[in-house]
Amino acid sequence: MAQGTQGSQSGLAIRRISASPDPAPDRAPGARTGPELAKLIDISRCIGCKGCEVACKEWNELGVEPTENFGSMQSHRDLSPDTWLLMRFSEIEVDGDVQWLIKKDACLHCEEPGCLYACPAPGAIVQYENGIVDFNHDQCIGCQLCVSGCPFDIPRFNPATRKVYKCNMCVDRVEAGLEPACVKTCPTNAISWGTKEEMKALGAKKVEGLQGRGFDNATLYDPAGVGGTHMMYVVPHGDQLAEYDLPADPIASAGALAALGGLRKLGASALGLGLLATALHYLGFGPQEPETEGLGGAEAVPVGAGSEPAGEGAGPEGSEAGGAGETTDG
Ligand code: SF4
Ligand code: SF4
Ligand code: SF4
């Protein structure tokens, strides 16, 4: 599928539609018409191979983007309209040891999606009953309010198409009964796929296993402030969420964003929208920092692509079938 035609061509049951009435207003609160699905990323099993990044590009026919050595194990500096998944690497010192903290950065498919609540274009963003949040580019007006509404800084604007892009959880595969491409390709079974209930239970078991191996602060990342997510993380160092670039308490409730309703009416004015988007982005992420040139930071150490991430040598957890034996300490 070409990038410009991505989004919301699915026949899946719809739960929420941007700037539109509730499609099932009589449904009991919290009720669903079908299974709620989720992806679970076990950071402790990720070896940083980036196979998931490649699978995402291939399945979704996203363009190849040039990159450079900027002193990081990351393939690229940031997400983009053509990069919906980026493995982020953070090198920190924990108890005297250097550790790579790895994060699979992509849309978390929030149960309360700030992007959808902020969008003023009817039908440009939909949430399916299974939890997937998908953009319909035919309806997107390019205002970028979704960018400001997302507490995880995920959607990316393409000035050429004037549309916004992000992971769609491989909705076409899911609709056909397949797992997302990144799940399928991961060689260490770091990514699991199933119902939200199953993934929460698996996540709890993995956290228990990590804590039993000395990762006292291991936690399941499924933040309540966005109603939980349909991509969750098992985080070995739950006390270092900021180092993983995971907000500790993201919020995107319908109530909080309802306050923006009046401001959204500025949608009639392109200038108003631009000012609003700028103001919201500033409030959310602060002033834009100019990119440093050359190496990504004074303390950054260039690492070859073939290098092994340094870890604590945490052994295999042994709770999943068929996983590669070696795990890293993400
Ligand atoms: S992570 Fe951001 S883009 Fe994805 S569903 Fe949540 S608010 Fe929307
Ligand atoms: S679910 Fe699909 S679109 Fe999303 S990151 Fe994985 S491969 Fe990419
Ligand atoms: S999640 Fe799996 S495929 Fe992706 S980088 Fe980690 S080990 Fe490789």
* Residue 72 CA neighbour count, 13 Å, CB half: 22
Ligand 2 atom 8: residue of nearest CA? 56
- Cα angle 100, 318, 207; round to 5: 60
Is residue 177 exposed (0-12), middle (13-18) or buried (19+ Cβ within 10 Å)?
exposed
Of 97, 18, 84, 78, the closest CA to residue 54 belongs to 84
Using the 8-state DSSP alphabet, how is residue 229 labeled? B
Q: Please identify, by atom number, the ligand 3 atom nearest to the C-alpha of residue 182.
A: 3
Inter-CA distances, 171 with 42, 106, 326, Å:
22, 14, 31
DSSP secondary structure of 174-188: HHTTPPPHHHHH-TT
Separation of CA 156 and ligand 1 centre (Å):
11
Of 236, 247, 248, the closest CA to residue 330 belongs to 236
Neighbours of 227 (CB within 10 A): 16
Strands 125-128 and 133-135, how do they pair?
Answer: antiparallel
Q: pTM to 2 decimals?
A: 0.79
| Ligand 3 contact, 309 CB (< 6 A) | no
Using the 8-state DSSP alphabet, how is residue 189 labeled? -
Of 231, 308, 315, the closest CA to residue 44 belongs to 315
Pocket perturbation via mutation, ligand 3, pick of 50, 58, 192 by most ligand atoms within 8 A of CB: 50
Ligand 2 atom 2: residue of nearest CA? 170
pLDDT averaged per 10 residues in sequence order, the chain, 330 residues: 44 93 86 93 97 98 95 95 97 84 97 96 97 98 97 98 98 97 98 98 98 97 97 96 94 59 44 44 40 30 28 33 37
| Ligand 3 contact, 120 CB (< 6 A) | no
Of 167, 185, 13, the closest CA to residue 83 belongs to 167
From the centroid of its chain, how far is CA 143?
21
- Cα angle 224, 226, 227; round to 5: 60
Query: Long-range CB contacts (< 8 A, 24+ apart) of 71-74?
Result: 71/295, 71/296, 71/297, 71/300, 71/301, 71/302, 71/303, 72/296, 72/300, 72/303, 73/48, 73/100, 73/303, 73/305, 73/307, 73/309
Of 117, 111, 166, the closest CA to residue 137 belongs to 166
101, 89 Cβ separation under 8 angstroms: yes
Position 26 scores a pLDDT of 86
Which ligand approaches the C-alpha of residue 174 most closely? 2
Of 181, 148, 187, the closest CA to residue 62 belongs to 181
